[in-house]
Chain A
Amino acid sequence: MKKILFALALATSFSAQAVEYTQVQPDKSAIHFTYKQMGVAVDGQFRKFTSQLNFDPAKPSAAKATFEVELASVDTGAPEGDQEVAGKPWFNTRAFPIAKFVSGTVKPLGGNKVEVAGQLTIKGKTQDVVVPATFTPQGNSGVFDGSFTIRRADFSIGEGSWAKFDIVANDVLIKFRITANSK
């Protein structure tokens, strides 16, 4: 009897260990960005995105993540900017409504940190990116925080009269916070 109880306890504790975070909570997740306009840092965000996530803290290198960002949901920090960036020189949302990130290898960096190599596709152009993220367990859910920098020119974001970087800088910092629940 004792043996059975012990085995049961072990099994429960094992299953408690093998938590996998898969249920992304949109209301507790956000994708923000910061760009520089003539030296002025301006914050914006994407209001709508969907994601699939599989993350087991015990097996971080098996983690997978896919994000699809609705580019028309952009908030550039200024109403007239939102209209402008939907247009052809910027996102051209009519032809390319979605930006997509697909994870590749996930490298554990020790502690709660991982480095996610992946492919980012915006406006029909795909680039390799490396995204560092920090994982913080919070009760039943896990919070992933991170940031990385992309160059808008790599994705032809801001063409024509906007192509030079003296007004809107090339570097755009992307910051995210993703909250996912375990099943």
Chain B
Amino acid sequence: MSYTKTAKALHWLMAALLFGLLGIGFYMHDLPLSPEKLQLYSWHKWAGVTAFLLVAFRLFWRLAHRPPALPASMPKRMQFAAHAGHLLLYVLMIAIPLSGWLMSSAKGFQTVYFGVLPIPDMLDKNKEIGDLLALVHKSLNLLFVAVLAGHIGAALKHHFIDKDDILTRMLPKH
């Protein structure tokens, strides 16, 4: 049993997008102010909105299409850990763009998708709330990196140690 083509496409598209977002995000915030920095911030926000739209679609897709079952050889507690890990990934994929959007509003910089579509501000400008949300955004991302490391580590362990099809069934040509 393999994932649907759509599920695979969404998985790898989001993988590429999220790695890009993480890379830009950790790189840009220490830069001195420059046109490049402002450009990176805008790109990061646009990519973040895109990631949010993709994960929303992905969730609907997943609700309508059950993923293939985990191998029966997996112990129950490991199956539970896998489901919990995936749930946490979804929660973070939704919470991180939301926290970034709210942070932008609180810092007084509205998110304008691709520079043309303004996304309404849910918060007024407020320095304390902006700084707090920056901390929330950063902490959620550090947690995301840790859960991602577990996700990738688990996939490699399944492939190389357990020698099951957990990794390959998510690959494009399988």
Interface of B is mostly: loop
Tell whether A168 pairs with B109 under 8 Å between CB atoms, given A39-B116, A84-B33.
no
Number of A-B contacts (CB under 8 A): 42
Roughly how many angstroms separate A42 CA and B111 CA in the complex, as a whole number? 11
Q: A38-B42, A39-B115, A39-B116 are in contact. Are A78 and B35 (CB under 8 A)?
A: no
Count of A interface residues, CB-CB < 8 Å: 18
- Bound Cα distance from A37 to B107, whole angstroms: 14
Chain A contacts of B125 at CB under 8 A?
77
CA distance A51 to B108 in the complex (A): 29
Complex: A43 Cα to B125 Cα, angstroms? 10
In the complex, are the beta carbons of B34 and A41 less than 8 A apart? Answer: no
CB-CB nearest 10 A-B residue pairs: A39-B115, A38-B42, A167-B35, A39-B112, A77-B108, A84-B33, A40-B112, A80-B33, A38-B115, A167-B38
Other contacts beyond A39-B114, A167-B38, A168-B35: 13, CB < 8 A: A37-B38, A38-B112, A38-B115, A39-B42, A39-B116, A40-B111, A40-B115, A42-B109, A77-B108, A77-B125, A84-B33, A162-B35, A168-B38
Q: Point out residues on B near A: beta carbons under 8 Å.
A: 33-35, 38-39, 42, 107-112, 114-116, 125
A residues contacting B by CB (< 8 A) are 37-43, 77-78, 80-81, 83-84, 161-162, 164, 167-168
